[in-house]
């Protein structure tokens, strides 16, 4: 029989769409620590290539990601419509790839959706290694 005064040792598991920043940081640090212990390589670093509006100085777009274990991970990449097709996106990608190489990366990984910009990445030498159907119907997530 269970003693009602003893706390339940089973951890609670729950879903949220608003994780606390410190919870996300804890999970990230724990995974990074595991990776370092397993590989002996402590090289995880954030990476951002930002675009600032010349009048306001505010960031209007860019790329965010990280480098780790010889890989450049592109997490987010966005430009406002007015800057698309101007060469700014190509420059952002070039600078991210160059910084990745400086940090020792031999490959890069990202995912995009077929209505976003897979052709942009292919034009810059990136290759699709997988596709997964997603919504809206007929679209695919590409990695």
Taking only the tens of pLDDT, the chain with its 143 residues reads: 566 777 878 999 999 999 999 999 999 999 999 999 999 999 999 999 999 999 999 999 999 999 999 999 999 999 999 999 999 999 999 999 999 999 999 999 998 888 888 899 999 999 998 888 888 887 877 66
Q: Is 78 helix (H, G, I), strand (E, B) or coil?
A: strand
Query: Domain limits of the chain?
Result: 111-143
What is the SS3 assignment for 3-20? CCCCCCCCCCCCCCCCCC
How many Cβ atoms are within 10 Å of 67's Cβ, its own excluded?
22
51 closest CA partner among 85, 97, 83, 73: 83
Tokens of 89: 């996106």
- Strand 107-110 relative to strand 71-78, pairing: parallel
């Amino acid at each position: 029989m269970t003693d009602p005064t003893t706390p339940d040792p089973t951890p609670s598991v729950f879903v949220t769409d608003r994780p606390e920043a410190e919870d996300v940081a804890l999970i990230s640090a724990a995974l990074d620590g595991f990776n370092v212990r397993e590989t002996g390589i402590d090289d995880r670093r954030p990476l951002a290539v930002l675009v600032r509006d010349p009048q306001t100085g505010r960031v209007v777009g860019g790329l965010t990601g990280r480098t780790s274990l010889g890989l450049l991970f592109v997490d987010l990449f966005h430009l406002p419509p007015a800057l698309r097709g101007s060469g700014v996106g190509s420059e952002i990608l070039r600078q991210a790839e160059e910084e990745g190489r400086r940090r020792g990366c031999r490959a890069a990984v990202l995912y995009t959706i077929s209505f976003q910009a897979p052709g942009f990445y292919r034009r810059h030498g990136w290759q699709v290694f997988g596709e997964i159907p997603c919504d809206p119907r007929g679209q695919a997530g590409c990695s």
